[in-house]
Amino acid sequence: MLELAFPPAFVLILGALLVAVVRPGLRPLVLLGAPLLTLWAIWRLPDGVLLTAPFLGYDIELVEADALRRLFATVFALMAFAGGLFGLLQARTRELAAAYAYAAGAIGVCFAGDLITLFLFWEFMALFSTVVIWCGEGENARRAGLRYALMHLVGGVLLKIGIEGVMVHTGSVDVRALALDSFDAWVLLAGVLVNAAAPPVSAWIADAYPEGSPFGAVFLSAFTTKTAVLALILLFPGAQILVWIGLWMIFYGILYALLENDMRRILAYSIVNQVGFMVCGVGIGTGMALNGAAAHAFAHILYKALLLMSAGAVLHQTGKRKCSDLGGLWHSMPVTTACGIVGALAISAFPFTSGFISKSMIGQAAADQHLMLVWFLLTAASAGVFLHAGIKFPWFVFFQKDSGLRPPDPPWNMRAAMILLAAACIALGCFPWMLYELLPYPVDYLPYTGAHVVTQFQLLLFAGLAFFALLPLMQRTLTISLDFDWLWRVAMVELAAGIARAWRALGDASRALWQRRAGLWLRRGLALVAPDGILARTQPVASMALWVLLVLALLIGLARV
Amino acid sequence: MSKKTLWTVFAIALALSVLAEFAIDIHLHFGIDGWFGFHAVYGFLACVALVLVARLMGFVLKRADDYYERIAAAREEQDDA
């Protein structure tokens, strides 16, 4: 039984260890083999709780499998494979090993049957994703990694408080749907939402991920936010507040991506936007909506990785990452351009791409529940996605003005990874049943109706018209936009420095005051015995004798009493 | 391909996407979304609104691209002093 239920996460952890130690010649073999073995381990797991162990007096469930968990684990393993192929010959060994451990943590979370196991793998991910960010270039990556780690420590503490509350108050550590009726559940939700990049901490994504290396960013885009989506589906399906949190994330992501100049930060903001669709789906909570959230996570991981690969290829070949420095790269990077466009079409949910068959389920669920406002906002946002990611990214990087740069396409393994994912995006779009069969609830949905295809084309083409009509308003400037992270990068630091300054000033003042007072008393004391002080003056002997007599009389008088 | 040809092709695609509604029965969710050309108008207006809101946000929130580096440098100077 133990062999049957060997945790798939451990296969990939073993792979990560091997990546770190094997001879360079064998490394590609391990890099490509480990995710495939993991995939095999994932697909041999039957449904149910498969591996338990006693831990601190609780029975923890290291492996619990069902369709939903298998779906997420599958796409994580596929992602590790594609990311490994992309960085096969160029990425640094320690970066690939850390990225594989990070992916293993995500797979561990997928199969966690109890909150303790979930927490352990959750923190495992935080640890190794920080290492992946630190493999980026220079001082900025170091600082961004530190901020990222702090953010996830805070999230981890919230999660831990929530989990312990649930453990103590219900006596159960099972991963199961929780009602939002207690402090514990709310704190647990907050801990999960930190990883989902929900407001007010959404900024950590655009702060940290774009500082990773071209290879690291591909891995980073896939795991943390999507395990959070899985956790939300498992723990809080149908929690209404998630609808509004999701909608906030959707529009926040679009608006900030529209303002952004750095190509990878555009894509980072669009992660928040896309995760917003999933969070909104979890909040709607019907079978259709949860299917939609899960399907969208699957599709999103593949096309977002593809987009970050094409951006990574550009960065790797040119060393530039700002839209204002790029443009006209289609001349010399046809493969990267084509794959980037496929990713852009998929994220915009163009018919015959993966986004079309997944995102539309969430909109359909909103319509089925008669959530009119939600449906209208989701539809507006779908047009907005095409605007900020679908056109803006490829247009400013590969077309617009000619920057004069003529870098060749990247090496073969990077091209192969991009082509693989581009093919997957189109295949899922053309054969939706491949994805629908993996979904947790029975699918009663036809994406390809004439009406749906036509209305989607209208929506997207006219969004495109808006983009080109408003192009003068979209010209890139050499700027960043202040985000909520300003609060903890500047305001809080200034506040702390201000308090420290005030404290120091107070200390100085009180010390000065003390010294002045003490000096005064000392001078007065000294004045008594100084050459001309009262005690140093010459006095007549008679006066002294009189005083002695008086004191003696007083003493005798006191003794008598 | 000249810019003009590209615009012509794009305009034809736009027109086709709207005219296709004659050939297809659009299903209704809420009534208004079944109006002729609703998705075209709605998609366009939504994007214009988003771009304008982003523009307004930009006036308040945009900073020079080395904003945080400068702050870090200023802090280091202060620490040294």
Q: What single letter denotes the amino acid at residue A142?
A: R
CB contact (8 A) between residue A450 and residue B24? yes
Q: How does pLDDT run across A418-471, given as a tens digit for each residue? A: 999 999 999 999 999 999 999 999 998 888 988 889 889 999 999 999 998 888
Touching B: A residues 312-371, CB under 8 Å: 322, 367
- Residue A9 CA to residue A73 CA, distance in Å, equals 9
| Residue-wise pLDDT tens digits, A294-309 | 999 999 999 999 999 9
pLDDT for the residue A2? 45
Read off the pLDDT of each residue in A489-509 and give the average, rounded to a whole number: 91
Q: Choose the closest CB to B68 out of A258, A459, A489.
A: A489
Question: Residue B71: its pLDDT value, please?
Answer: 87
Percent of chain A with pLDDT strictly greater than 70: 99
Residue B72, pLDDT > 80, answer yes
Per-residue tokens: A306: 């593809």
pLDDT recorded at residue A52: 86
User: B46 and chain A: CB distance < 8 Å anywhere?
Assistant: yes
Q: Per the CB < 8 Å rule, is B62 touching A259?
A: yes
Tell me whether A258 touches chain B (CB under 8 Å): yes
DSSP for residue A61:
E
A462: contact with B, CB 8 A cutoff: yes
**pLDDT at residue number B1:** 65
CA distance A119 to chain B (A): 33
B3 touches chain A (CB under 8 A): no
Q: Kindly state the greatest CA–CA separation across chain A.
A: 128
Please, which residues have CB within 8 angstroms of residue A74's CB and are 6 or more apart in sequence?
Answer: A39, A42, A43, A298, A438
Contact call for B50 and A460, based on CB within 8 A = no
Contact call for B46 and A482, based on CB within 8 A: no
A401: chain B residues, CB-CB within 8 Å: none
Q: Do B26 and A451 touch (CB under 8 A)?
A: yes
Which two structure tokens, joined as six digits, stand for A512?
């000065």
pLDDT value, residue A1: 42
A373 touches chain B (CB under 8 A): no
pLDDT of residue B76: 84
Say yes or no for a CB contact (<8 Å) between A461 and B40: yes
Average pLDDT over residues A340-363: 94
Whole-complex ipTM: 0.90
Q: What's the mean per-residue pLDDT of chain B?
A: 85
Beta carbons of B55 and A473 less than 8 Å apart = yes
* CB contact (8 A) between residue B47 and residue A460: no
* CA angle (A504 as vertex; A503, A507 as ends), nearest 5: 90
pLDDT at A129 over 90: yes
Percent of all residues in chain A with a pLDDT value above 90, rounded to a whole number: 71
**Which residues face A54 on adjacent strands?**
A59
Judged against a pLDDT cut of 70, whether residue A3 lies above it is answered with no
pLDDT bracket for residue A355 (50, 70, 90): very high
**Domain residue extents for chain B:** 3-80
pLDDT, tens digit, for every residue of A73-108? 999 999 999 999 999 988 899 999 999 999 999 999
Domain boundary assignment for chain A: 1-224, 237-483, 490-560
